[in-house]
Structure 1
Amino acid sequence: MSGELFVEAHVNYVKDLFRHPSYLIHFMADHLKMNALYWGLGTLFLVHHKEEFPRDEVIKFVLTCIDDSNGGFGAAPNHDAHMLSTLSALQVLKMFDAIDILSKEQKTKLVEFIKSMQLSDGSFQGDQFGEVDTRFVYNAIQCLILLEELTPEIADPAVEWIIRCQNFDGCFGMVPGSESHAAQAFTCVGVLAMTNSLDKLPKKELLEWWLSDRQVDNGGLNGRPEKLPDVCYSWWVLSTLAMLGKLNYIDGVKLEKFILDCQDSDKGGISDRKDKEVDVYHTYFGICGLSLLGYKNLERIDPIYCLPYNITATIKKYPYNE
């Protein structure tokens, strides 16, 4: 294959972020803490270094981020609950097989919070302030699946709303009628996959070709036509194609080289493009992309849940009566 993944450098990079969290402790970046924890731990799990962070300390931090006013999880202690941080918190707990650490009361309140974010048209808002986005539908559906609390009353209108977000070109926007974007394709197809509804996807072939057109000459993938390639789309595009059974629609050898070229071999981490500053977000999703490509010695990642297969194998799949 095209090059080497600098595993030890990436492990040290993630560990250093949390030992000396130059941006994670800054008040302007508090909104990233729970997501960054998920990205960092996800990286370590994929490269077989899941023991680097003490399990009890991680769980303790996650529990301190519960918003007592509604039961959801905030991005950091004393933050308002949000669907983005709630899913990251549950994914972290799932990675450590610790969702059952939530008390019955905590779980009940959490489920009520998630369900309360659904609007009458089937969409979900991210928090009490009302922003609506396909991401929050994905967040809510996966959260309820991880908690084994998804019901047709929630899933069916969500699926109907997601299908309304598909555009004439086959891809999806964040709300009906908005611009097509590869990340929204992942959230929408992910919702359909999680709810066992992929057979309801209209314009499937058109979407597959739209996604394959995201690969540019240097092998990288972009999120929209005429945009620069970005390592994170190695996940958003590739995972969607994987859910559709069309990984062969992109040149995996060229994409692998693009991802590996974006590494910092000295301090570790992966950037959005070659010779740019690295961050934990692109590090995780770059390695997720490599995992989907079958890169050697990585845990295989589930394209639906963005968690390793050895973890998602324990998820009780919806619908529960089948």
Structure 2
Amino acid sequence: MTSAIAKKKHAKYFQRILQLVPSRLAMFDRSRLTFAFFAISGLDILNCLDEMSHDEQLQAIEWIYRLQVSDSGYRSGFEPSTTIPKEAPNYQCGHLAMTYTGLATLLILGDDLSRVDRKSLIKGISACQNPDGSFTATRVGCESDMRFLYCACCVSAILDDWSGINKQKAIDYILKSISYDGAMGQGPGLESHGGSTFCAVASLFLMGELHNVLSKEQLNRLRHWCLMRQDGGFQGRPGKPADTCYSFWIGATLQLLGVSHLSDPECNRKFVLTTQNTLIGGFAKFEISQADTDPLHTYLGLSGLSLLGEADLQAMNAALNISQRAYNRLQDIHKRWRSKSEHS
């Protein structure tokens, strides 16, 4: 097993994803914007964003803005891809996960978000909140769970506008989703899971409520549950094998809870590196001899390594799942927005 990250190989892997998605992933065209986020944010984490030429970055920005559905009330947001033509506006609809990844990718590419229809997007968020506080990905005909509540919080944090969320209802939904073992499921009465636990904790963190709504005992039980998920790498649920992506989902949660130092970083790093393909790049779910690489595990594997302080990787902002560099750019944008608002 190699003890180093195959940085150049992974950068080439992300560049290929931006140009040509493998045929086995063609079914995920509905998530094309998320794939773009994995690749572009991955290049950012690798400190290889300059592998995209200036023209390529500008083209990516223009493509993302083409996906924006604005002035459409409950349908406002960003679409997954350009599959639905502009000539069929009644079928165009924003999707919370795509809106989050679209805005995040614009930030990473250095865009100032000046063409984002903030008011319209906030209307789209508000329309997706259910009476129980949860969120659907789109307003009509879609499942609702903790993932989309998290996406709504990310969009609100990026837009610096929380008026589209009933925070108390969202908090109540999270609290009702705490399982008997102290962690969170995708919804009330569901099994605790590493991904939904991250989404719940990060949402509370972004709302500035993490230490206000969870008691000291609840926080300690949550920390214990997350720390017990380490088995070399991290697993998503008790009894499951370690999986590359949970090096981020659980690792980021531990960081937000202030106890990442209590895990074993070397064991985690050792596991993640067994899942990388050093020939053509990319990371797999399990050891590379047992699984194929894919964009999600490649991105989250690198993100998990970044949380460990891996040399030559960009530091992560755990709550928003973007680089600290992109987050610093967002803070500058917020300062300009607030200054403009004060003088208007």
Question: Residues 182 and 222 of structure 2 are in contact (CA less than 8 Å); yes or no, is this contact kept in structure 1?
Answer: yes
State the alpha-carbon separation in 2 of the partners of residues 191 and 38 from structure 1. Answer: 20
Give 1:43's aligned residue.
42
1:288 aligns with 2:293: no
Cα deviation digits, residues 114-159 of structure 1 (max 9, x gap): 1111122222111121411011111001101111111396323212
Pairing of 1:1-322 with structure 2 (within 5 A): 3-23=3-23, 26=26, 28-53=27-52, 54-67=56-69, 69=72, 70-77=75-82, 78=84, 80-102=93-115, 106-127=117-138, 128-151=140-163, 154-199=166-211, 200-202=213-215, 203-216=218-231, 219-274=232-287, 275=289, 276-316=291-331
Question: Residues 276 and 283 of structure 2 are in contact (CA less than 8 Å); yes or no, is this contact kept in structure 1?
Answer: yes
Aligned residues: 312
Give the C-alpha shift of residue 194 in structure 1: 0.3
Cα RMSD, aligned residues only: 1.9
State the alpha-carbon separation in 2 of the partners of residues 183 and 249 from structure 1. Answer: 20
Q: Where in structure 1 do 4 or more consecutive aligned residues deviate above 6 Å?
A: none
State the alpha-carbon separation in 2 of the partners of residues 171 and 163 from structure 1. Answer: 10
Q: TM-score, normalized by length of structure 2?
A: 0.86
Q: Secondary structure at the match of 1:120?
A: coil
Stretches of structure 2 lacking an aligned partner (at least 5 in a row): 85-91, 339-344
Give the C-alpha shift of residue 18 in structure 1: 2.2
Give 2:87's aligned residue.
none
Q: Secondary structure at the match of 1:102?
A: coil
The residue identity in structure 1 corresponding to 2:312 is N
State the alpha-carbon separation in 2 of the partners of residues 297 and 280 from structure 1. Answer: 20
Identity of aligned residues (%): 26
Give the C-alpha shift of residue 288 in structure 1: 0.5
The residue identity in structure 2 corresponding to 1:158 is A
Q: Greater CA deviation, 146-155 or 71-80?
A: 146-155
Q: Greater CA deviation, 50-59 or 276-285?
A: 50-59
Give 2:342's aligned residue.
none
State the alpha-carbon separation in 1 of the partners of residues 24 and 326 from structure 2. Answer: 27
The residue identity in structure 2 corresponding to 1:58 is A
Question: Residues 34 and 88 of structure 1 are in contact (CA less than 8 Å); yes or no, is this contact kept in structure 2?
Answer: yes
Question: Residues 24 and 30 of structure 1 are in contact (CA less than 8 Å); yes or no, is this contact kept in structure 2?
Answer: no
Q: Greater CA deviation, 140-149 or 50-59?
A: 50-59
Change (3 A) 1:119 1:312: same
Change (3 A) 1:61 1:205: same
Question: Residues 145 and 315 of structure 1 are in contact (CA less than 8 Å); yes or no, is this contact kept in structure 2?
Answer: no
Give the C-alpha shift of residue 25 in structure 1: 8.0
Question: Residues 6 and 268 of structure 1 are in contact (CA less than 8 Å); yes or no, is this contact kept in structure 2?
Answer: yes
State the alpha-carbon separation in 1 of the partners of residues 275 and 201 from structure 2. Answer: 28
State the alpha-carbon separation in 1 of the partners of residues 296 and 119 from structure 2. Answer: 31
State the alpha-carbon separation in 1 of the partners of residues 311 and 183 from structure 2. Answer: 31
Give the C-alpha shift of residue 96 in structure 1: 2.2
Q: Greater CA deviation, 199-208 or 78-87?
A: 78-87
Change (3 A) 1:130 1:19: closer
State the alpha-carbon separation in 2 of the partners of residues 298 and 11 from structure 1. Answer: 12
Give the C-alpha shift of residue 24 in structure 1: 8.6
The residue identity in structure 2 corresponding to 1:186 is F
Give the C-alpha shift of residue 305 in structure 1: 0.8
Give the C-alpha shift of residue 99 in structure 1: 4.8
Structure having the higher helix fraction is 2
Stretches of structure 1 lacking an aligned partner (at least 5 in a row): none
Q: TM-score, normalized by length of structure 1?
A: 0.91
State the alpha-carbon separation in 2 of the partners of residues 175 and 239 from structure 1. Answer: 20
The residue identity in structure 2 corresponding to 1:122 is G
Change (3 A) 1:285 1:25: closer
Give the C-alpha shift of residue 52 in structure 1: 2.6
Q: Secondary structure at the match of 1:76?
A: coil
Question: Residues 141 and 155 of structure 1 are in contact (CA less than 8 Å); yes or no, is this contact kept in structure 2?
Answer: no
Cα deviation digits, residues 232-258 of structure 1 (max 9, x gap): 000000000000011123211011011
Question: Residues 126 and 164 of structure 2 are in contact (CA less than 8 Å); yes or no, is this contact kept in structure 1?
Answer: no
